[in-house]
Structure 1
């Protein structure tokens, strides 16, 4: 038999009354403190405890880890540099937090990922708070479980890129706006929450540029166009809020432009306008590029989407005008009650469409939409019938079984210049992840029968987080060699401070971080072309210039692709330090323990 709490929650109507909200709060408060503590501890251990169990991947993880390392080492927190060259593609907030993490805890993998893990956790907490305020404490808990177990959110929170740092800030923007617009909010509380909203936008602008204010602004315009609620704009505390946002974001922009006059054109024209309107960054994709990413990123909760759409259509959470005493007095006929479900839905849809229309696409771009989805999912789950939830669990059982049966296909791959042996190793982890998905759905069905829906959803969410964490951790089977960590020890024995470390035709994003030594680019500047143009003396633009420096310059080490090594070793002496399937590390001087290339050639074929 369904629990009485589930029968009450399953009644139709998504407009919680004060009595319902009080009941939800009481129900949440009645949960045993030990149970709550154990659940929170388990999620926190899995969330933060796995940060250092994988090596960094290129390009993003290694790039931002190294930028922060160079920032901390140089003491220059204004002019961003990567491999010693000016790097103005992104603002510095993410790198600032990472550099602080290094200063506090040392330089390493988990320290490099701490910023994104914290951003994901803060965004999750803010979304829970806003959901609980509008839809009840039970819905707030559900929203947190949904967001924590959504693959796009938890994977992004364990991958050192700016996407999750931006998403965490944007989640705070949405949550603060929702909290400020609640009809029971006092004028002082509304002001505080709106100032928090504007401050979060300032952090977003300081993380990834104008998108941090453009997207919330676009959502707000669309919301008022749909609802015709122009009075909302008078409740935004815009003068004080804009001043606060500018106070957070503008000082760095002003300082970096003062020190680097070339910054403004590159950052705002090349990195904003051209990135969005053209394919100049070679990251194009079809209009439906993000559809499979959305499906996979929200996979455990896809069955809720129809109910989430209905929640928006039925104006879920809208308060009755009789309970708007705390709003500024105005004629009742002009009053437009705020629609939290519509705001959350427009938030998700707007971000999805905005990036779908962009000329530059990467998977993490749509991560900021997931807090909006989680808020709607929490509102829906708080009243979903037991039978409906059981159907969702059975569907995930089938998805896990299909994934388990299909996992051997991974062992047949040989793509992206990655040896098949590495894919064979990862196939085992993928199969384990699918088995955990099945086990989690089965356990949730058992919990549903024995302990009710709240226990079932909690167990299911934790199982999904565990399954996708295992899938991510298992990628170390491929990522370890990609990171080059096995080359670090032999190179470090030969490399000395101040010795040139050349990247010949390749920008290695991870080895410089692990070696604590920046690259000097040769022949191909790659994404460092802007910095190389500003400081041409800091790189070698041709192979001939490299050959001359290699033969007549100081002792040096170079990183090359196997193909480039085969070509250049015929021209100049190269002493092999170490190599893997992606790169060969060589020195221009003899040293003890030198490898013999002819012995390694059969095991390490050149990869085109």
Structure 2
């Protein structure tokens, strides 16, 4: 399928030239006066921000990602080593440190906790929305910018992902800033100093992206730029990138940490660049395969509230900006660049031999910009059809919500899913109420209707997210952590016996010593073999030596070891058993 026209055909006497549609102002918005529309907009933003930040601490951390990065940041702060990344006291070089730096700094300011662990991703998601709106406003007007912000707010792949402590969301937020700064720098009305400033900001953002998740921070924007120039033949763009000063800025941001960590850890360079980049992309070394269409349902589901607009998003790629210059040489195609950004990144990760859902999040801001352009040109009839289609989807979801109560996946007890089914049903009810309100508000225009619809979708998906605590909370180990902390002293060995528990170390504020199975910490155990116990015989000997110690293991491992080792149960849940080698009275919780 060919891309939409990236520029209009050359003028001729026989080809009439359509006039560029001017950007429409915000409905009901009167500049210079505090209008009712401005009051409603302020109230909308206040509610969205309250929900955005107010729900960060309503759930316990989930494994593996949330617990892993929460604990890495805690150990970073506790040890004072901000260069060599460690997880359970073992070297962990799979990812660069920026996300963990921000989280550790958050811990230093406000203490160690769940909302603090998620603050980095929440800020990254919000920055992605704001910067995408700013770029859209500059090129397509305030109304399109408002639609772009609403599209991102309502897209679960963005708003929900911004509430999970993962590096993918931090990377996506920074990459959204890369795209937005690039678009702002290329506006024809930008002064030379403004263009330079935005481009240097773009280079800084790419450096932060590299420090967040590696070379994709420059490889993906570079791929997009090469494709864009190849399609448009806009060779002059190279001169507007400030390549020399930009490279200096990029190296100034990235080189210090890479130099320090390499100097202190000679094994870092090969593991990080060969194993974690080349082998991860070209082979199944991480055992995360997926078909070529792996990300298709994720993009559809992640942008579900706007899936009916997908054909219009495609057409929006060819939309010219407002006040396009007459000089063909000066024409820059912001919508085309956004479209290439989404398509190129989607294809790049689809071709990879290692796939995880979070990899595709960086395409969402570009889709949000295109959605803003498409919605800005949507009439009432087309929007009414979109509302009707989404009402059918939400109604089907409500009718299907009892199916959740029948699940028994990943060894999770069915009782937890039965509780979550109520939340799932409530989420679809909220969505349906939002759709009904949006349909009623159509009499006031498309923008108010879209705003209420987006808020309904956002609140519905947030309800589903908060309700997931019924499933994720019991799996986190947070409930048994107080019992463990009653007996676990700071210097006491705490063993993970054939089990890497990704959440309990965060809640008890104590790293594990791996036993028999290193799991994803195999690199750390190879370079520091003295920091783990490689087999059960060694563990049994250490366990019996009389030094007080604790261990966490699966219920199956506990049953296998209890006949031969002194195991005194401290706490247990459906996933884990925590034991000690020192007999004593069972600890109790004063608050329970």
**2:506 is the counterpart of 1:510:** no
Q: 1:25: Cα distance to partner? A: 10
Aligned to 2:109: 104
Matched, 1:412 2:412: no
- Report if the CA contact (8 A) 1:14-1:316 is conserved: no
Aligned counterparts, 1:176-325, within 5 A = 176-312=181-317, 314-317=318-321, 319-322=323-326
Per-residue deviation, residues 213-233 of structure 1 (Å, max 9, x unmatched):
000000001101111111111
Q: Which residue of 1 aligns with 2:12?
A: none
Deviation at 1:500, TM superposition (A): 0.7
Q: What's the TM-score once normalised by structure 2's chain length?
A: 0.94
- Residues 1:550 and 1:14: Cα distance change in structure 2 (over 3 Å): farther
Alignment of 1:413-432 (within 5 A): 413-432=407-426
Shift of 1:174: 0.3
Is the 2:495–2:551 Cα contact (8 Å) retained in structure 1? yes
Aligned 8 A contact 1:87 1:530 in 2: yes
SS for the counterpart of 1:486 is coil
TM-score under structure 1 normalisation?
0.91
Counterpart CA distance in 1 for 2:160 and 2:168 is 11
**Which deviations, in whole Å up to 9, do the C-alpha atoms of 1:55-79 show, x marking residues without a partner?**
0000000000000000011111000
User: For residues 49-105 of structure 1, what are the alpha-carbon distances to aligned partners after superposition, in whole Å with 9 as ceiling and x for unaligned?
Assistant: 000000000000000000000001111100000110100000000000001110111
Distance 2:19 2:61 in 1: 44
Secondary structure of the corresponding residue to residue 485 of structure 1: coil
Q: Is the 8 A contact 1:24 1:136 kept in 2?
A: no
After the TM superposition, which residues 76-95 of structure 1 pair with which residues of structure 2 at under 5 Å, given as runs?
76-95=81-100
For the pair 1:366 / 2:366, whether they are aligned, the reply is no
| Alignment CA distance shift 1:28-1:361 (3 Å) | farther
Question: Aligned partners of 1:305 and 1:167: how far apart in 2?
Answer: 21
Distance in 2 (alpha carbons) for counterparts of 1:366 and 1:423 = 27
Q: Contact 2:496–2:513 at 8 Å: present in 1 too?
A: yes
- What is the aligned counterpart of 2:41 among 36, 42, 57? 36
1-side partners of 2:312 and 2:296: how far apart?
Answer: 19
Structure 2 counterpart of 1:69: 74
**Structure 1 residues 13 and 129, CA gap change in structure 2 (3 angstroms):** farther
The 3 A distance-change label for structure 1 pair 122 and 156 is same
Aligned pair partner of 1:148 in 153, 168, 172: 153
- 8 Å contact kept, 1:25–1:136: no
Q: 1:594 to 1:49 in 2, by over 3 A?
A: closer
Determine the structure 1 residue equivalent to 2:11.
none
Please list every run of 5 or more consecutive structure 1 residues that lacks an aligned counterpart in the other structure.
Answer: 1-11, 325-331, 596-608
Q: 2:581 aligns with which of 588, 595, 602?
A: 588
What secondary structure does 1:586 align onto? strand
Provide the secondary structure at the position in 1 that maps to 2:160.
helix
Specify the SS of the correspondent of 1:97: helix
The answer for the alignment partner of 1:443 in structure 2 is 437
Matched with 1:534 is 527
Superposed CA RMSD in Å reads 1.6
Q: 1:349 aligns to what SS in structure 2?
A: helix
1:464-485 per-residue CA deviation (whole Å, 9 max, x = no partner) reads 1100001011110011111011
CA contact (8 A) 1:396 1:437 kept: no
Q: Is the 8 A contact 2:298 2:357 kept in 1?
A: yes
SS in 2 for 1:157: helix
Instruction: Judge conservation of contact 1:319–1:337 (CA < 8 Å) in 2.
Output: no
Gaps of 5+ in 2: 1-16
2:560 pairs with one of 567, 573, 594:
567
Q: After superposition, what is the alpha-carbon deviation per residue over 1:181-229, rounded to whole angstroms, capped at 9, x for unaligned? A: 1111111111111011011000000100000000000000110111111
Q: Structure 1 residue 170: deviation in Å? A: 0.3
Provide, for residues 400-430 of structure 1, a one-character-per-residue CA deviation record: whole Å limited to 9, x for no partner: 1100111111111111111111111111111
Show the 5 A alignment for 1:104-183.
104-183=109-188
CA distance in 1, matches of 2:518, 2:66: 19
CA distance in 2 between counterparts of 1:152 and 1:343 reads 21
Farther-moved stretch of structure 1 (178-187 vs 57-66): 178-187
Offset of 1:320 from its aligned partner?
Answer: 3.6
Aligned to 1:380: 374
Secondary structure in structure 2 of the residue aligned to 1:402 = helix
The aligned counterpart of 2:388 is 394
Tell me the residue number matched to 1:473: 466
- Residues 553 and 576, structure 2, Cα contact 8 Å, conserved in 1: yes
Spell out, residue by residue over 1:129-181, the C-alpha distance to the aligned partner (whole angstroms, 9 max, x if none).
00011100010111011101100001110000001110111000000000111
2:346 is the alignment partner of 1:352: yes
Q: Tell me if structure 2 keeps the 8 A contact 1:555–1:587.
A: yes
Secondary structure of 1:494's match? coil
In the alignment of these two chains, the number of paired residues is: 569
